[in-house]
Amino acid sequence: MNLYEETKYILKKYGITANKKLGQNFLIDEDAVNKSIEVSKISKSDLVIEIGPGLGTLTKMLLEKAGKVICIELDNRMIEILNDRFSMYDNFAVINEDVLKVNLKELIKNEKKGEMIDVKIVANLPYYITTPIIMKLLEDRLDISSITVMVQKEVADRLTAIAGQENSGAITYAIRYYTEPEKIMDVPNTSFLPAPEVNSSIIKLNVLKEPAVEVKDEKKLFKIIKLAFMQKRKTLLNALTNGNLLTNKQEVEKMMSDLGFDLKIRGEKLSLEDFKRIADYLE
C-alpha cells in the first residue's frame, strides 16, 4: 500500500474526515516524509517531539529511528488512531493537548536524561498557527538542537530569507537571531490529502547555542524590529520617531547619524547587526 492508499484506508476505517479548522492536510508523499526524516539526522540518542502527528505518517518512521518520540496532538480522534498504531512501541508517547499550552521546557527537562542527548522537533505543522508555534519553540529557549518543519511555501521563504534582503519580515530577524535556517525542499499541494490551496516547503532551523548577536536588551531589539516592520513603507527615521523610542525626531536623526545610517533608509533594509547597534545605542 502506498501512502495515499494507507491514508485513505485509515480515514475510512475510523470513519473520519479531515478537520480543516485544525489544519488537517495529511502527507501522502513518500519523498517528503523521507526527506524530513533524513535531514533531521535522527539517531537512537535523540528525543523527538512531533507536533501534530495526525494519522501518524511521520511518526511511524520517527519511531524506527529515534530513542523516544513524544507526539503532541490536539484532536482526540487522532489519539485513538495513534495509540492503535503505535502503543506496541516502547519508545512512543502521546500528549492530547494544544501544543501552545504544553510546558515544553518542563517536558524536555523531565525527559532528557540518561542516554538521551539531543532533542529535535519534527512536524508537518498546522498552518493556522505556524508563527506562534515557531516563536514559542524559539523564545522559550528550549534545550533543542533542530526544528524540521513543513510550512506554507511563502512562510518558508520568509523564515529562511536573509534579514534585510528579499522576502524578509520581522520574523526573519527572530529566526536569524536564534537559528541558522535552511530551505530543504518545496512540496506541491498535491502531496497532501486533502490538497490544500497553497504549496509547502520543508525547512530546517538549526538552533544556535548562543544568539547570533550579543545585545544588551533583547526585548528592546525585538521592539525596534517590530516598529520598523509595522510601518514598512515609512523610513526608519519616521517609524522610530512614531514609536516614541526617543523624545523627538531630532534625537532619532542624531542617533541615526551617529550610527552612520542614511536618514532615508527603510527598516526592511537593515541587517540584524544594524538593529542590534540601534538597540545598544538606546541603552
Q: How far is the CB of 170 from ligand SAM (least distance, A)?
A: 23
Q: How far is the CB of 203 from ligand SAM (least distance, A)?
A: 15
Q: Which is nearer to ligand SAM, 49 or 278 (CB)?
A: 49
d(CA 46, CA 61): 14
Q: How far is the CB of 193 from ligand SAM (least distance, A)?
A: 8
- Chain contacts with ligand SAM (rule: CB under 6 A): 22-27, 51-55, 57-58, 72-75, 78, 98-100, 124, 126, 129
Q: Which is nearer to ligand SAM, 126 or 267 (CB)?
A: 126
Q: Which is nearer to ligand SAM, 128 or 281 (CB)?
A: 128
Q: Amino acid letter at 161?
A: A
Q: How far is the CB of 46 from ligand SAM (least distance, A)?
A: 18
Please say whether the dihedral angle defined by the alpha carbons of residues 217, 222, 40 and 98, taken in this order, is positive or negative: positive
Q: How many residues does the chain have?
A: 283
Q: Which is nearer to ligand SAM, 126 or 181 (CB)?
A: 126
Beta strand ranges found along 56-128 (DSSP E): 68-73, 92-96, 118-124
Going from the C-alpha of 206 to that of each of 146, 147, 149, the distances in angstroms are 5, 7, 11
d(CA 229, CA 158): 13
